[in-house]
């Protein structure tokens, strides 16, 4: 089993154990970028088929797979990232797009994922789940490293 495949399996197994233990339904929500290392076709298909059975939001990786732009992986890297890191991420994205092209039905489903989702959890107020920030799916849009 490729390493990439173990995470969704473990998450689903945890869900099933919790349901068996409590007798209550457990809902899963995958919050974008679940495709970043799915470069081999078997992992790509398995992870996406697994994730798409549950709730999911689109991350910049899924967006760039479904709707490619010149932005590479769509991360909008700040200037303090080296050019080599940015180039490597762009190469990884190209590989992922090539893998995804073998699964047009899955890529179409990824394209239809929402960019955010509001959920209710118990008595808590509604929770906004999004990848990136309210203006962009990029994880770095508007981030000042001095503020971290």
Query: The whole model's pTM is what?
Result: 0.75
Q: Is the pLDDT confidence value at 2 over 50?
A: no
Q: What is the mean pLDDT of residues 36-60?
A: 88
- Higher-confidence residue of 122 and 20: namely 20
- pLDDT at position 146 is 44
CA distance linking residue 6 with residue 24, whole number of Å: 24
- pLDDT at position 54 is 93
Q: What is the mean pLDDT of residues 41-50?
A: 90
- pLDDT at position 133 is 62
Strand partners for 133: 136
pLDDT tens by residue, 21-40 = 999 999 999 888 888 777 78
- pLDDT at position 145 is 41
Mean pLDDT of the chain: 80
DSSP 7-56: HHHHHHHHHHHHHHHHSS----EEES-TTTT--SHHHHHHHHHHHTTSEE
pLDDT tens by residue, 109-135 = 999 999 889 998 889 889 888 876 666
């Amino acid at each position: 089993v490729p390493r990439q495949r173990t995470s969704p399996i473990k998450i689903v197994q945890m869900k099933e154990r919790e349901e068996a233990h409590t007798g209550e339904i457990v809902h899963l929500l995958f919050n974008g970028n679940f495709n970043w290392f799915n470069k081999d076709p078997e992992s790509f298909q398995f992870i996406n088929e697994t994730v798409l059975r549950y709730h999911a939001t689109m991350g910049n990786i899924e967006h760039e797979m479904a709707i490619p732009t010149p932005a590479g992986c769509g991360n909008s890297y700040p200037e303090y990232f080296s050019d080599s890191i940015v180039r490597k991420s762009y190469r990884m994205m190209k590989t992922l797009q090539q893998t995804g092209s073998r699964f047009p039905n899955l890529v179409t489903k990824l394209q239809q994922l929402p960019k955010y989702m509001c959920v209710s959890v118990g008595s808590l107020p509604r929770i906004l789940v999004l990848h990136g920030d309210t203006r962009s799916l990029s994880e770095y849009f508007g981030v000042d490293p001095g503020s971290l």
